[in-house]
Amino acid sequence: MNTTLPIAVIGAGPVGLAAAAHLIQRGETPLVFEAGNEIAAGVRSWGHVRLFSPWRWCLDKAAVALLEAHGWQTPDLEHLPTGHELIDDYLLPLAQLPALRTQIHLGARVIAVSRRRTDKLKDAGRADAPFVVQVEIDGHTERFTVRAVIDAAGTWATPNPIGADGLAAPGEADNAAHIAYGIPDVLGAARGRYAGKRVAVIGAGHSAINAILDLAELYNSAPQTHITWVLRKANVAATYGGGENDQLPARGELGLRIQRLVEAGAIEVVAPFFTTAIERVDAKLRLVGETPQGDRSLLVDEVIGATGARPDLSFVREVRLDLDAGVEAPRALAPLIDPNLHSCGTVRPHGEKELRQPDAGYYIVGMKSYGRAPTFLMATGYEQVRSIVAALVGDWESAAEVQLELPETGVCTVSAAFDGSGLGIGSACCAPPAKDAPAVAVELLPFTMLSTPATVESDSCCGVTSCCTEDAPVAADACCTSANKAEVIALEGTAKAGSCCG
Ligand SMILES: Cc1cc2nc3c(=O)[nH]c(=O)nc-3n(C[C@H](O)[C@H](O)[C@H](O)COP(=O)(O)OP(=O)(O)OC[C@H]3O[C@@H](n4cnc5c(N)ncnc54)[C@H](O)[C@@H]3O)c2cc1C
């Protein structure tokens, strides 16, 4: 193949830009395509969120070397940047360096990749055929010929739907005006939309936790705000993470803070709940779902879907890829990160060898390399692209010498009973086992704010012990009829004796 051709990088997020820096350092010509109108458009959309990694884990070595050569000052390595700071203090200065800025195409969405004169079926001459990258720029399509492709397109722009089976729930698209995905800026630009409203946050990962913590802060200035946390998993405690054992204290603190809110009854927990439909009822949304007690629904004003994300594989239809059937990550990487198997959040060092695809020269890196798995860290992506670029220039020794040291989460669960929605539950291998969830966490919590912490007793429902003594219509259940009860309505069936709240 013609080795003077440029190398395409899809996505100008932290990992795509790091790839470009490594290529420049190795004397190669990157061509970076970014769908957004600015670099790191994905990060910008959650720019208000403070990272749990301090700067020391957010900087790529090749990028820093290029920046320092132009007088850039390293930020305080212990400071936790926000997404906005990550862009403004690091990624933007990097993208503006003379060697990079002419190589980055903004508003350039890659819509297809193939090999020149070689469709997916054809074997002959395949390995020597350069790649053709089709890009939509300013409303027209351009084609670029490159010798390799580093696909760092992330997953943030393709969130999982809210439907519990991985499909959009009926009504999800029709009610899009009241559904946000990810972590809306509820304390900033989106304040008016959420202040004083009943908000359901669906999901079990860091995004859901971040959204809830922001809503809890919003509650302080808008006390009518009501937060319901809807999870597929029964054990809310499995979302808390490693707490004080986490080597990234800010990540551990997220879990500790949400645990305190749950245990104080400041947020209503509805778990397990498998969303099956979203309906409009006057000005409200009715979230319908399956629970162990039958179909239930809850009425809210706004829904935040934080159910993870999935890779956009639409533009790689013509590329020969070998991805794990479930995780949608490169096959060799998938078992290292598969949340069905473990949830360490740490991954053993891996690089070009694990990421190479049947179509030699195409690499999926960064957040997208994790497919649907949730535990990606930037430092992992930086090491991936260092190793890949070394291989692309023929430095196989450096490519094979993969070094990756990641901060441990403090929750390392192996062969966990994974319920498909985030961290698994099971035996801990690097931290004390997660405490059993308070029994109330699998039912509904009354909505009481921090000033009046709820006493959570085992076998209790809604904070009251032994409230249901005989089969009764759920709607008539005394323990669930207080003024501030969760507005969960039985769609059918009756409550079983001893199973308060239905
Ligand atoms: C809220 C949040 C907090 C996080 N906190 C941390 C943390 O503290 N520490 C940590 O290590 N990691 C953290 N992560 C995880 C991860 O490091 C980040 O998601 C990081 O941004 C991933 O970088 P990336 O370059 O792989 O992908 P992205 O940042 O998602 O960048 C991908 C880019 O590709 C572009 N793109 C997408 N499709 C196309 C296309 N077809 N054509 C052209 N361009 C395209 C997008 O616009 C985007 O700019 C966090 C993630 C989130 C969501």
What's the pLDDT tens digit per position in 340-380?
Answer: 886 666 677 889 999 999 999 999 999 999 999 988 999 99
pTM of this prediction? Answer: 0.85
Q: Is residue 428 scored above 60 in pLDDT?
A: no
C-beta neighbour count of 5 within 10 angstroms: 17
pLDDT, tens digit (0-9, with 9 covering 90-100), for 284-325: 999 999 999 999 999 999 999 999 999 999 999 999 999 999
Ligand 1 first shell, C-beta below 6 A: 10-16, 33-36, 40-43, 46, 49, 51-53, 57, 109-110, 152-154, 156-157, 183, 207, 312, 315, 366-367, 376-378, 381
Distance 129 CA to ligand 1 centre (A): 30
Distance 110 CA to ligand 1 centre (A): 16
pLDDT, tens digit (0-9, with 9 covering 90-100), for 7-36: 999 999 999 999 999 999 999 999 999 999
Distance 41 CA to ligand 1 centre (A): 9
Apex 127 CA angle, 121 and 133, nearest 5: 75
The pLDDT of residue 243 is: 72
The protein residue whose alpha carbon is closest to atom 37 in ligand 1 is: 153
> Atom of ligand 1 at shortest distance to CA of 15?
25
pLDDT band at 423 (very low <50, low <70, confident <90, very high): very low
In sequence order, the 6+-apart residues with CB closer than 8 A to the CB of 392 are: 7, 23, 26, 28, 148, 361
Distance 156 CA to ligand 1 centre (A): 6
Class (C level, CATH) for 7-158+309-400 = alpha beta
- State the fold for domain 159-308: FAD/NAD(P)-binding domain (3.50.50)
Q: Is residue 469 scored above 80 in pLDDT?
A: no
d(CA 441, CA 456): 9
The pLDDT of residue 196 is: 97
The pLDDT of residue 255 is: 87
Q: What is the CA radius of gyration of the chain?
A: 24
> Which one of 146, 378, 380, 409 would you pick to mutate in the ligand 1 pocket, going by the greatest count of ligand atoms within 8 A of its CB?
378
Strand stretches in 292-424, DSSP E: 294-300, 302-305, 362-364
Apex 411 CA angle, 233 and 345, nearest 5: 90
For the chain, the structural domain boundaries read 7-158+309-400, 159-308, 423-502
Residue 134 is which amino acid? Q
Distance 165 CA to ligand 1 centre (A): 25
Q: Do 7-158+309-400 and 159-308 share a fold?
A: yes
**Which helix (H) or strand (E) is 142 found in, with range?**
strand 140-146
Among 11-25, 177-191, 415-429, where is mean pLDDT lowest? Answer: 415-429
Would you call 475 helix, strand, or coil by DSSP? helix
- Between 450 and 318, name the one with better pLDDT: 318
Distance 40 CA to ligand 1 centre (A): 7
Distance 367 CA to ligand 1 centre (A): 6
The percentage of residues in the chain with a pLDDT greater than 90, rounded to a whole number, is 71
> Which one of 377, 383, 406 would you pick to mutate in the ligand 1 pocket, going by the greatest count of ligand atoms within 8 A of its CB?
377
pLDDT (mean) for 49-68: 96
